[in-house]
Amino acid sequence: MKEPPDKAGLNHAVRVTVAALSIVLGLGAAVPAAAQCPGDLTGNGAIDGLDLAGVLSAWGTSGGELGGDVNSDGTVNGADLAVTLSGWGPCAPVIASVTPNVGPTSGGTPFTITGHYFSGTATVTLGGVSATSVQVVNVTTITAVTPAVPAGSIDVVVTIDGRTVTAANGFTFSEVAPGTLRAWGQNDFGECSVPVDVGPCTGIEAVEHHTIALRTDASVRAWGNNQYGQCNIPADLGPCSAVAGGYGQTVALRTDGTVRAWGYNAYGQCNIPTDLGSCSAVAAGWYHTVALRTDGIVRAWGDNYSGQCNIPAGLGTCSAIAAGNDHTIALRNDGSVRAWGDNYSGQCNIPAGLGPCTAIAGGGYHTIALRADGTVRAWGKNHLGQCNVPVNLGTCTAIAGGDYHTVVLRTDGTVRAFGSNGYGQCDVPTDLVPCRAIAAGDHTTIVIQR
């Protein structure tokens, strides 16, 4: 095999012979379109001396990967050289995907364009309107933020140094008000039927067969199964900052730090301890209620059959709480996770090497953690794949657990769900705009759209 030629002289000597070479080989009509960049062997976004050196260094019949064999005929020859020279210079950009590809007409949705041959400075337009915060991350990735655009399917256009590529109908804008709820899955009691007058919301909870929403005005709404009065909001509840729910009870954290609960109370889960004090978060399992005090201390009451209300000695101060059906989870201030109560499926066995976490969630019989690096871990009962985190999930900002399914909110606002799908609870609507909050009931999923 010949040694690679001196690149300093390539751009002169070889260019002179292009026309003659094409004539001798008769390849003029067979040269692929420049947009395909078939001669870019190094993947640096341009066809240049590096690619030419790669062709010439492998000239002739050769074993191995044949990096210079552009047309894949088994040899590196004049055909490959003609293709490389015909595309000399920058390659036209190529769009492979736009993610997410739906968003509100008000704009403000971060999105990512993946493809090839991105370099230098790029402009991105959607329906002729310029996107903001455009950044060429690398030769395969561009990030940007959508502008305000009227509803409809819009072309996404990327322009780099006068070279343009279009993804026809690459993004769909919808008339969705920020804070709008969407729900899907089991709807036997109307738990997925969001009231038309619920308005924009800042918080949600999906439980056994009822749904709870915290509206932007700090009022609470609930709908679905009301067998125990769990959807009857107390008239004197006042403004709230968080909500939670269990089998038949609803829990609310008022803005003054006090906790209220109503509905099913067979195990005293709605009996707020008189010495509870001011709280910053609430959670609920099937028949027990958990509160995080403002001093970081965890309290729990109600059904204690599996020890779910027995706060472990030495737990210390915590920053978040969650509950499964019969187990309780706490996120300590140092980012470590603790769990106690029912452990039949190993849901309280914290994985070795879990590392620091920023959020926790409880499914029926499994536990979910959001690690500090944005990755998700899940453990416990996994007979329907609720703990099988997809390998291509990417980084996330929120997690939720249903009875046998898991829901995650990715950093780009898209929602993924996996596990049991008997009621379609894992079938994320294709027209869902980016979201800012998620919740999971027994067999339901509910989100707040941005």
Domain boundary residue, one of 56, 89, 122: 89
Q: Both 367 and 235 in a single domain?
A: yes
Mean pLDDT of 273-284: 97
* Higher per-residue pLDDT: 9 or 180: 180
Q: Is the pLDDT of residue 399 over 80?
A: yes
Q: Under 8 Å CB-to-CB from 403, ≥6 apart: which residues?
A: 325, 363, 364, 365, 420, 441, 442, 443
Tell me if 162 is assigned to some domain. Answer: yes
Q: Both 11 and 159 in a single domain?
A: no
Tell me if 254 is assigned to some domain. Answer: yes
Tell me if 76 is assigned to some domain. Answer: yes
Banded model confidence at residue 71, pLDDT cuts 50, 70, 90: confident
Q: Both 330 and 414 in a single domain?
A: yes
Q: Both 363 and 220 in a single domain?
A: yes
Mean pLDDT of 295-313: 98
Give me the number of domains the chain comprises: 3
* Higher per-residue pLDDT: 200 or 59: 200
Kindly report the average pLDDT of the chain as a whole number.
Answer: 88
Q: Both 201 and 55 in a single domain?
A: no
Task: Quote the pLDDT of residue 431.
Answer: 85
Tell me if 1 is assigned to some domain. Answer: no
Task: Quote the pLDDT of residue 418.
Answer: 98
* Higher per-residue pLDDT: 316 or 17: 316
Q: Is the pLDDT of residue 161 over 90?
A: no
Q: Is the pLDDT of residue 8 over 70?
A: no
Q: Both 148 and 32 in a single domain?
A: no
Give ∠ CA 420-425-428 in degrees, rounded to 5: 120
Q: Both 230 and 360 in a single domain?
A: yes
Q: Is the pLDDT of residue 110 over 60?
A: yes
Tell me if 78 is assigned to some domain. Answer: yes
Tell me if 2 is assigned to some domain. Answer: no
Range name among 50-54, 313-317, 442-446 with the lowest pLDDT average:
50-54
Q: Both 294 and 167 in a single domain?
A: no
Domain boundary residue, one of 23, 57, 89: 89
Q: Both 119 and 137 in a single domain?
A: yes
Banded model confidence at residue 94, pLDDT cuts 50, 70, 90: confident
Q: Both 170 and 275 in a single domain?
A: no
| CATH number for the domain harbouring residue 288 | 2.130.10.30
Domain boundary residue, one of 143, 174, 205: 174
Q: Is the pLDDT of residue 43 over 60?
A: yes
**pTM exceeds 0.95:** no
Domain membership of residue 338 as a residue range: 181-449
| CATH number for the domain harbouring residue 105 | 2.60.40.10
Q: Both 191 and 149 in a single domain?
A: no
Q: What percent of the chain has pLDDT over 90?
A: 69
Tokens of 277: 């004090």
Task: Quote the pLDDT of residue 36.
Answer: 57
Tell me if 22 is assigned to some domain. Answer: yes
Task: Quote the pLDDT of residue 9.
Answer: 32
Tell me if 429 is assigned to some domain. Answer: yes
